[in-house]
Chain A
Amino acid sequence: MPSASFEVHQRLDCKGLNCPLPVLKTKKALDGMAPGQVLEMTATDPGSKPDMEAFSRRTGHELVQATEQNGVFTFYIRKAAAK
C-alpha cells in the first residue's frame, strides 16, 4: 500500500476483469462521486495502466497515483470539477 497524501472516498475492485470493464466501472463509480473526491481502483488487467492514463487525459479526471505490486495495479483517480 503506497503512502497516500490524499483521502480515499471510494474503493472499486476490478481484479480479474478484462477490458473494457475496469474503465467502464471506473467511469460509473466516478459518476456517483463529488468533484475532488478520490477513487481507488484495483485491477489485474495489464492493459489497465495505459488505459487509465488515456482515460485520465481524455476525461480530465486526474490520475493522482498509479502503482503495481505483484501484478495488482492500484490507481487513485481524483474526480474533475464539473464542466
Chain B
Amino acid sequence: MATVDKELNALIEARVNELLEQRLDALIRERMTALEKKQVKAKRMAIAVVSRGTIDAAYSALILATTAVALEMEVGVYFSFFGLNILKKGNQDNLKVVPLGNPAMPVAMPNIVSVLPGMTALATMMMKRTIQQKKIATVPELLEAAIESGVKLWPCQMAMEMFDLKRDDLIDGLPTPVGAATFLEFAGDADITLFI
C-alpha cells in the first residue's frame, strides 16, 4: 500500500510540475508580447502655435508636423491667438514675414527703415519669390498634406471667440475647435512638445 502511495505521489508531483511549467511558459510569453506591444507604441508630437501667425511660424509648425507623420508619429497642433491666423480660409497667401525687429532677414534692414509702411509687404514678396524659385512647398500644400495624413490641426475655441471667427471662416478639414484641456490631454502623453 505504502509503495502505491509513494508511486502515486511521484506521478502527481511530476504531472503538477509539467502543468505548472506549461502555464508559466504561456504566461511569460503573454507578458513579453504585451511589453513588446507597449514598446512599439507610436511616438507622439504636440505643437502649440500661439505667438505668431506669420509665414515662418506656419513653415516651422507644418514642416515638422507633416514630417513627423511620415516618420509614423502621431501629431496634434494647437492654433491659438495669432497662430489661428494660419488656419483662416483664404488667408494662406496673405501670411507675412515681419522684418521689423528681426535682425536675421537675408537682406539686412535697419529698424528705422523696416518701420516704414510697405516694408513688411516688400519682405514678404521677396520671401515668397524665393519660395517659388527654390521649389519649396507652399503653406497651402503643407496644410493639405497635414490634413490628408491625419495631423490634428485644432483651432482654439477661445481664440475664435476673441477674433470673432466662425467655423466657416477657417479652412475645411479641421477637427472641431477645442479648449486647452483637449490639447493638454493629448500633449500630456507626447514625446515631443514644441511651442511656436
Contacts and interface: CB of A to CB of B under 8 A. Distances in A.
Interface residues of A, number: 15
* Chain A, interface SS category: helix
B63 A20 contact: yes
B67 A59 contact: no
Contacts of A67: none
A59 B71 contact: yes
Contacts of A17: 135, 137
Interface string A1-39: 000000000000000111111011011000000000000
B40 A83 contact: yes
Contacts of A20: 63, 66-67, 70, 137
A23 B142 CA distance: 13
A55 B137 CA distance: 19
B71 A58 contact: yes
A83 B145 CA distance: 23
Interface of B: 40, 63, 66-67, 69-72, 134-137, 145, 149
Interface of A: 16-21, 23-24, 26-27, 54-55, 58-59, 83
